[in-house]
Amino acid sequence: MVIGTEELLRLTVAALMTRTGERQNVLAEGIGLSQAQISRKQAGRQHWSLEDVDGLAAHFGLHVLDLLAGPTHAVGVLHGSIPALRPFDVAAPPLAAQLPLPAVQLTAQPLQPDTLQPPAPDAPVVPCVLCGQPCSEEVDGFPQHLSAEECAAAIAAATPAPPTPVSPAPVPVPQQPSAEPPAPKPEPHAEAEPTAPVEPAAPPAGPRAPRAYASGSLVDQITGRVHEALEECSGDLEAAQAALLKSAIPDVMTFFKASRVGGRYEHSEFPPTAEVLRKRTQKGADDIWEGRPKWRNPHIFKAAKAGTEFEVTALDMNAAYLSAFKAWLPIGQLREDTSGVHDRKKAGVHLITPAPWEHTDLPNPLGNRMEPGELWVTESTLRLLLDCARDDLADAPTIHRSLVSGGTEVLLEKLRRALAEVRKEALAEGDELTVNYVKSMYSKLVSTLGESTANRDMRRPDWMHIMRAKAFANLWMKANKIHKAGLHVVEMSGTDELHVIGDWRTVFAEGRDLNQVKEKSIYTLGGKS
């Protein structure tokens, strides 16, 4: 039975979702679709488009060719147990490097006879555009193997394998007292370098589960930088921490660039800055409103002033800016759009008129803004306002003008997952040096992406505003979750401070992980003086 390409893609998506533990709503949010669309596409009632394939590959951190090579191959590449098909990593002739990739079937379905061109008697051996290994066949004028199996075989043949111990023959051999056992005859295919054993790739120390998302090498680079600082400071923790905090900005930019190796998107690092993103003075601000909250529940404080006593818990959100790395960011230069329609596959800043907010027991998603009328907001704030409209909390804002580019939510995802993994392991081991180093990197990255002389590797004030606004939006969503659970929101401010009345542990898990919250303090509000 021959499986079509699209059915193979559905099987691959299902396998990747199973391996990563993702549900359809998470996948839908990651590639800019609805959960219903994902369901229809996976059930075969709607087709996956080529644009969807690009989004799926970016979401799972795979090359498109690896995604289309089948579930076993895709999951293996995600694990790191199978080499990726990476044609752009192979040194090819300049002309071949400029040729577009042809449409290729990666299933067992035979190719049409008229597309196959037998090699000429003296045809040169050139790299296959799929796997990069030597190849003498052509398909539609492009050098490539005729099937995925041939690509896999070529990769396996080019990959040195560790020597396999030879098992003794089951037939007994007479003892030779004065002669050593004869050396086994080498296999015909194992003649190269018989005396130089090939060492396999070094596995991680200890029994560690496979990393599904974050690059293992990136995690090792971050932890290796900590060990390097400790060695340079002869084990002095204070000196090592000072050195790591000083190098946090160049270090995190180095790790970010490492996380983008092999990425599908080539983001702009110094695009022209739009007028609304330019500071009016050296110490002034630009025109973007990030939605910073500073809110108190008027009903609770009025009752407390009248003598009612409340027990309030102050909650602290963990690594708010690190969580904000998962935000929709524009890839290239911002372009003007006056259609007044929000395109969920683009990102940028928007000039809007927000709808009135009539809920006095829930903070306004726009933060503590008092002035009515138009204002510039980021992609994170606009998406939050549109979500509120879908939940019938307010009307949708009116969009007058947008400055946008093609966007993605996974541009910083590999770096975010790597930093989160290093942070989680450091917390489990009580390694506060690494915890503080990671915190310094993600917080300084957000704060220096704008017009800052501290970061000379990138200038993206739009990213800075979007990520800050995303941190505020994440805090608002937690407040809304408390409100939906029937508890009372007392106060909300900054990126990580939320005061509530009621058993908050029925809503949030307690701890220091990114998806958990921790208790900061418990105090009494109101009562008799």
What are the pLDDT digits (tens) for 368-413? 887 889 999 999 999 999 999 999 999 999 999 999 999 999 999 9
DSSP 392: T
Residue whose entry in the numeric block shows the structure tokens 């896999």: 152
In order of 7, 12, 70, 99, 245, the CA distances from 106 in angstroms are 12, 12, 8, 19, 48
What spatial distance separates the first Cα and last Cα of the chain, rounded to whole Å? 81
Residue 127 forms beta bridges with which residues? 134
> In sequence order, which residues have a C-beta less than 8 Å from that of residue 507 and are 6 or more positions away?
481, 482, 485, 487
**Is the confidence at residue 167, as pLDDT, over 70?**
no
Which run of H or E residues covers position 500?
A: strand 497-501
pLDDT tens column, 467-519: 999 999 999 999 999 999 999 999 999 999 999 999 999 999 999 999 999 99
Q: What is the pLDDT of residue 144?
A: 60
Q: What is the pLDDT of residue 370?
A: 78
Burial category of 20 from C-beta neighbours within 10 Å (exposed 0-12, middle 13-18, buried 19 and up) = middle
Question: How far is it, in rounded angstroms, from Cα 105 to Cα 139?
Answer: 11
Residue whose entry in the numeric block shows the structure tokens 């990425």: 263
Q: What is the pLDDT of residue 146?
A: 57
**C-alpha closest to that of 350 among 458, 476, 469, 266:** 469
Query: Going by DSSP bridges, is the β-strand pair 346-353/138-139 parallel, antiparallel, or unpaired?
Result: unpaired
Decide: 329 and 452 in contact? Cβ < 8 Å.
no
Share of the chain above pLDDT 70, in %: 75
Question: How far is it, in rounded angstroms, from Cα 343 to Cα 37?
Answer: 16
DSSP 274-326: PGGGS-SSTTS--SEE----EEE-HHHHHHHHTT-EEEEEEEEESSHHHHTTS
Length of the chain equals 529
**Is the confidence at residue 238, as pLDDT, over 90?**
yes
pLDDT tens column, 53-97: 988 988 888 888 988 988 888 888 887 778 888 643 433 333 333
Q: What is the mean pLDDT of the chain?
A: 81
Question: How far is it, in rounded angstroms, from Cα 224 to Cα 248?
Answer: 14
- The answer for 41, left when phi > 0, alpha when psi is -120 to 50, beta otherwise, is alpha
Decide: 312 and 321 in contact? Cβ < 8 Å.
no
pTM: 0.62
CA 431 to chain CA mean position, Å: 25
Q: What is the pLDDT of residue 129?
A: 52
pLDDT tens column, 427-449: 999 999 999 999 999 999 999 99
CA 439 to chain CA mean position, Å: 18
Residue whose entry in the numeric block shows the structure tokens 């702009």: 268
Question: How far is it, in rounded angstroms, from Cα 444 to Cα 252?
Answer: 9
Q: What is the pLDDT of residue 85?
A: 80
Question: How far is it, in rounded angstroms, from Cα 97 to Cα 90?
Answer: 9
Amino acid at 356: P
**Is the confidence at residue 529, as pLDDT, over 60?**
no
Question: Encoding tokens for residue 287?
Answer: 């025109």
**C-alpha closest to that of 399 among 415, 412, 386:** 386
